[in-house]
Amino acid sequence: MKVVIDGSCIKTKKFNGAQRYAMEILRELDKLVPTGKYELLIRHEYRSLICLHNIEIVEIKAPNKLAWGLKVFFYLFRNNAVYVHLTNGFTLWRKSIITLHDIYAFYGMYNNTWMYNAKAKFKAIIDSVIAMHIVTVSEFSKQTMLDKLPLKQERISVIPNGWQHLKDVEPDGNVLDKINVLPKSYYFFLGRLVNNKNIKWIFNVADKNPDNCFVIAGGIYNEKFGFYKGKNENIFYTGFVTDGEMKALYQNCKAFLFPSLMEGFGIPPMEALYNEAPIIISNSSSLPEIYEDSAHYIDPMRYDYCLDNLLQEPVAPPEKILSKYSWEKSAKQWYELIEGYTN
Quote the Cα angle for 156-161-165, to 5°. Answer: 150
Please give the angle made by the CA atoms of 20, 23 and 25, to the nearest 5 degrees.
Answer: 100
Q: What's the rounded mean pLDDT across residues 216-244?
A: 71
Provide mean pLDDT across the span 239-253.
Answer: 94
Distance CA(26)–CA(4), nearest Å, equals 12
**In percent, how much of the chain has pLDDT > 70?**
94
Q: Is the pLDDT of residue 324 over 70?
A: yes
pLDDT band at 222 (very low <50, low <70, confident <90, very high): very low
As a whole number, mean pLDDT of residues 109-128 equals 85
Tens of pLDDT, residues 165-219: 999 999 999 999 999 999 999 999 998 767 788 988 998 999 888 899 999 997 6
Decide: 341 and 133 in contact? Cβ < 8 Å. yes
State the average pLDDT over residues 330-341.
Answer: 98
Strand order in the sheet with 56-60: 56-60, 38-43, 3-6, 82-85, 96-99, 133-136, 156-158
* Cα 58 from Cα 39, distance rounded (Å): 7
Among 129-143, 181-195, 224-238, the minimum mean pLDDT is found in 224-238
pLDDT of residue 25: 97
Which amino acid type is present at position 259? P
Residue 184 vs residues 112, 169, 176, 214: alpha-carbon distances, Å: 36, 20, 11, 11
Residue 228: pLDDT band (50, 70, 90) is low
Q: Which residue has the higher pLDDT, 297 or 64?
A: 297
Q: Residue 85 in 3-state DSSP?
A: strand
| CA distance linking residue 188 with residue 302, whole number of Å | 18
Top-confidence range, 108-117, 227-236, 261-270:
261-270
Nearest by Cα to 85 from 108, 192, 76:
76
The rounded Cα 24 to chain-centroid distance in angstroms is 11
pLDDT per residue over 6-38, tens digit each?
Answer: 998 887 766 788 899 999 999 999 999 999 999
Q: What angle do CA 99, 83, 336 make, to 5 degrees?
A: 70
Instruction: Quote the radius of gyration of the chain (alpha carbons, Å).
Output: 21
Read off the pLDDT of each residue in 304-313 and give the average, rounded to a whole number: 94
Looking at residue 225, what is its pLDDT? 54
Identity at 165, one-letter amino acid code? H
The total of other beta-carbon atoms located within 10 Å of residue 144's CB is 22
Pair 291, 281: CB distance under 8 Å: yes
- Helix crossing, 243-252 with 267-274: angle to 10°? 70
Which pLDDT does position 262 carry in this prediction?
A: 92
- Out of 7-11, 107-111, 134-138, 259-263, pick the least confident: 107-111
CA distance 38 to 53: 11
Q: Among the listed ranges 73-82, 125-134, 203-212, 286-295, which one has the minimum average pLDDT value?
A: 203-212
Residue 78 CB neighbours (<10 A): 8
Q: Quick one: 158 exposed, middle or buried, by C-beta within 10 A (0-12, 13-18, 19+)? A: middle
Q: How far apart, in whole angstroms, are the C-alpha atoms of residue 9 and residue 18?
A: 8
Q: Is the pLDDT of residue 237 over 70?
A: yes
Quote the CA–CA distance of 55 and 52 in Å, as a whole number: 6
**Range name among 23-32, 150-159, 190-199, 304-313 with the lowest pLDDT average:** 190-199
The yes-or-no verdict on residue 42 having pLDDT over 90 is: yes
- What mean pLDDT do residues 231-240 have? 81
User: What sign results for the dihedral spanned by CA atoms 195, 226, 267, 126?
Assistant: positive
- Kindly report the average pLDDT of the chain as a whole number: 91
Answer for the pair 268, 172: CB distance below 8 angstroms, yes or no: no
φ, ψ dihedrals at 336, nearest 5°: -65, -40
Q: Which helix (H) or strand (E) holds 73?
A: helix 65-79
